[in-house]
Amino acid sequence: MTDTGKRGWGWFWAFAGVGAAGAVAVLGMLTIGAFVLFPTLVVFILLVIRGGGGRPMWGLVTGAGVTLIVIGLNWHTSPAVCEGTAQAGVAVAEGSEWSPDVVTSAPGLPEVPSVTGCESTWDPWPMGLPGGVLMIAGLVAYVLASRAVARPGSS
């Protein structure tokens, strides 16, 4: 296999997968990240040992950017803190079914939010914009590095 074959788009996308998993490991360190980190490091080391290092490692940047974009899109569809009215703690009169007529205020109970609908969502830009920049930067850097090597007279 030639040097060009080892440094092609397949290697780039393999490193992009590792970059995406690495971003999940870092961002989710308190939850799933600890379980993702070790396998991600193992795959990264295997890729480098098998000869995929060099230019394709720009895929790490692209993969991290893709993860941030996915998180931003998820935020766009997830409900944020909904605005509603908070009532003083309410209790239903004992022995009766709930209806607005039998709700009485009970001192000492926590406030209960009463929200009829939630149309608000998290803003996707804090994750989506840096993710897009990273994704495009990784792709552009890989293409420019590949062109620099492909030019006649360069090594």
Task: Give Cα 86 distance to the centre of its chain.
Answer: 32
| pTM as predicted | 0.69
Residues 56 and 7 sit within 8 Å (Cβ to Cβ)? yes
Amino acid at residue number 1: M
Rounded CA separation 150/88 (Å): 71
pLDDT at 89: 43
pLDDT at 87: 45
- Count of domains forming the chain: 1
**Has residue 18 been placed in a domain?**
yes
**Has residue 114 been placed in a domain?**
no
With residues binned 3-state (H G I as helix, E B as strand, rest as coil), the percentages for the chain, rounded to 5, are 60, 10, 30
Rounded CA separation 60/117 (Å): 41
Rounded mean pLDDT for each run of 10 residues along the chain, 155 residues in total: 64 96 96 95 96 90 97 78 48 49 52 55 87 97 89 61
Could you give the angle at the alpha carbon of 98 between the alpha carbons of 95 and 99, nearest 5°?
Answer: 130
pLDDT at 86: 44
- Residue 59 domain boundaries: 3-81+123-150
Residues 126 and 73 sit within 8 Å (Cβ to Cβ)? no
**Has residue 111 been placed in a domain?**
no
**Has residue 31 been placed in a domain?**
yes
